[in-house]
């Protein structure tokens, strides 16, 4: 296995386990804690729904890129997509969602296992970062969860949602430099 394949598989596995273990330890009241003040004002439960949806979606686009496709469409509206997807799962039980997240993460790992070294350099469109190499997209999968878990921990520690940062997606040109 190539070094980058090994590194990405290890990080996907390790960070997936950490996220699932953290989420499994949460009590019933924690799932209702609001984490964000924008969009759908996601609670911890909705953040987990987002993990499931995002993981499945990025694996789908990864497979598409490996088959020669472009990745996410140019007109992909990430905020609308996230709200629709999360809203459709919000009534599911947390423990079941954790299992779905673990299965989705395992599927991402299986995708990486099939990749040759040159596949990591294939460029496709990420829904937020624009045109980037598949290697970058895969690293973003586990980094994405790490950022949200950080926000969940902060909201749980303070009992308050985290402050909104006016983040904007980079242009495709900026995305290529990452």
Asked if residue 155 is part of any domain, the answer here is: yes
Given pLDDT bands bounded at 50, 70 and 90, which one contains residue 124?
A: very high
- CA gap 33, 42 in Å, rounded: 9
Q: Per-residue pLDDT averaged across 59-88, rounded?
A: 94
Cα–Cα nearest to 108, from 61, 40, 160: 61
User: How many whole angstroms from its chain centre is CA 67?
Assistant: 21
Q: How far is CA 161 from CA 20, 30, 101, in A?
A: 21, 12, 23
Asked if residue 89 is part of any domain, the answer here is: yes
CATH number at residue 103: 1.20.120.450
Residue-level pLDDT at 40: 85
- Phi, psi (5° rounding) for residue 125? -95, 120
Supply the range of the domain harboring residue 83.
Answer: 3-162
* Number of structural domains found in the chain: 1
pTM for this structure? 0.89
Asked if residue 123 is part of any domain, the answer here is: yes
Partners of 71 in the β-ladder: 125
Half-sphere CA count of 54, side-chain side, radius 13 A: 23
Higher-scoring residue by pLDDT: 83, 90: 83
Asked if residue 105 is part of any domain, the answer here is: yes
- CA gap 52, 59 in Å, rounded: 11
């Amino acid at each position: 296995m190539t070094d980058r394949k090994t590194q990405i598989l290890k990080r996907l596995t390790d960070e997936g386990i950490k996220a699932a273990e953290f989420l499994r330890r949460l009590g019933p009241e924690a799932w209702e804690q609001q984490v964000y003040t924008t969009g759908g004002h996601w609670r911890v439960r909705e953040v987990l729904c987002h993990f499931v949806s995002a993981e499945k979606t990025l694996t789908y686009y990864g497979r598409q890129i490996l088959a020669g496709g472009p990745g996410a469409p140019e007109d992909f509206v990430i905020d609308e997509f996230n709200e629709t997807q999360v809203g459709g799962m919000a009534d599911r039980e947390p423990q079941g969602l954790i299992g779905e997240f673990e299965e989705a993460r395992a599927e991402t790992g299986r995708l990486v296992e099939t990749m040759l070294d040159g596949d990591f350099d294939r460029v496709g469109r990420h829904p937020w970062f624009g045109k980037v190499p598949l290697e970058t997209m895969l690293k973003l999968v586990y980094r994405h969860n790490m950022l949200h878990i950080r926000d969940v921990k902060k909201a749980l520690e303070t009992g308050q949602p985290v402050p909104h940062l006016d983040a904007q997606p980079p242009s495709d040109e900026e995305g290529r430099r990452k």
